[in-house]
Chains A and B, each alone.
Chain A
Amino acid sequence: MFTPLTVTVVVTGLLLAVWCGYASFRDQPVKDWHYGGAALVELFALAQAVVSTVALAGGDRPAGDGSTVVFVCYLVAVPLCLPLTVVVSFTERNRWGSATVAVGAAVAAVLELRLADVWAGAAGV
């Protein structure tokens, strides 16, 4: 886990959620600029996944027993959120497509926070 990356994913994810949420509010579909933003957030999420995988391979483990499985689940889940919702928005060219990407971005941010929690030893919840 690399904390600056965690913060970046959470902040950019939430910003993207607000941006797409605003587009939905204004009754607009997802546009190229939004997709660019989504690609950027996805890039940070993937970077975090790579950094964490390297750490795991190097013998680092999240604090607390049995939390490695939970950590890996979250690690896989975060980079899936945006691609899945972006694909949905391709076929839903209206405000609901924007809302879908907004939810995907918000969920990615929340899962990234949980990922950091689990690394710090809070797998219990």
Chain B
Amino acid sequence: MSEAPTTASPGGRPDLKHGPGRLLVLLYGIFAVGAASRSLYQLSTRFDDAPVAYVLSAVAAVVYAAITFCLVRGGERARRVGLVCCAVELVGVLTVGTWSLVDPGAFPDATVWSDYGIGYVFLPLILPLTGLRWLRAAA
């Protein structure tokens, strides 16, 4: 891990990975790895069981990985991309959460975002809200 002097760099480059950012990097990293390995396994072994759920898990994994990358990278552009990704994530968890409650038949198997992430102590819902707050404050 290379330690760039983020806090002291010129131009007030937003530092996103220290302080509370550490916790976000860790949680997003865990979710990225978790969702990616889970969807890889499910897509490769039993795609036909619940294609929608497994593809959505893969999409979630990509969003999580992107946010993790933005947080670690830091800087104004990464901050903006991170904001967009967090917004996508929030919309995703709200949409899929509602969808899975209204039409359970569409999801024979759960995704990270089913029922607003109840299987993951609602972290999928809390994370984007916290992420948006952190990224906005870092401006």
Q: Contact string, A63-82, partner B, CB cutoff 8 A, digits 1/0?
A: 00010011001000000000
Report, nearest first, the 3 A-B pairs whose CB atoms are least far apart: A96-B22, A99-B23, A96-B19
Which residues 8-31 of B have a CB within 8 angstroms of A? Answer: 18-20, 22-23, 26-27, 30
B2 to chain A, nearest CB (A): 12
Q: Is B110 an interface residue (CB 8 A)?
A: yes
CB < 8 Å neighbour of A70 from B18, B22, B23, B41: B41
* Residues of A near any B CB (own CB < 8 A): 66, 69-70, 73, 85, 88, 91-92, 94, 96-97, 99-100, 103-104, 107, 124-125
Further pairs besides A99-B23, A107-B30: 20, Cβ < 8 Å: A66-B45, A69-B41, A85-B26, A88-B26, A91-B3, A92-B18, A92-B22, A94-B19, A96-B18, A96-B19, A96-B20, A96-B22, A96-B23, A97-B22, A99-B22, A100-B22, A100-B26, A103-B23, A103-B26, A125-B110
| Cα–Cα distance between A125 and B110 once the two chains are bound (Å) | 8
Q: Is B7 an interface residue (CB 8 A)?
A: no
CB < 8 Å neighbour of A104 from B20, B26, B37: B26
Q: How large is the interface on B (under 10, 10 to 19, 20 to 34, 35 or more residues)?
A: 10 to 19
A32 to chain B, nearest CB (A): 20
- Contacts A66-B45, A107-B30; is A73 near B22 (CB within 8 Å)? no
B111 to chain A, nearest CB (A): 11
* A73: B residues at CB distance < 8 A: 37
* A91: B residues at CB distance < 8 A: 3
* B18: A residues at CB distance < 8 A: 92, 96
Q: Contact string, B42-53, partner A, CB cutoff 8 A, digits 1/0?
A: 000100000000
CB < 8 Å neighbour of B22 from A69, A88, A125: A88
A24 to chain B, nearest CB (A): 9
* A-B contacts, 20 listed (Cβ < 8 Å): A66-B45, A69-B41, A70-B41, A73-B37, A88-B26, A91-B3, A92-B18, A92-B19, A92-B22, A96-B18, A96-B20, A97-B22, A99-B22, A100-B26, A103-B23, A103-B26, A103-B27, A104-B26, A107-B30, A124-B109
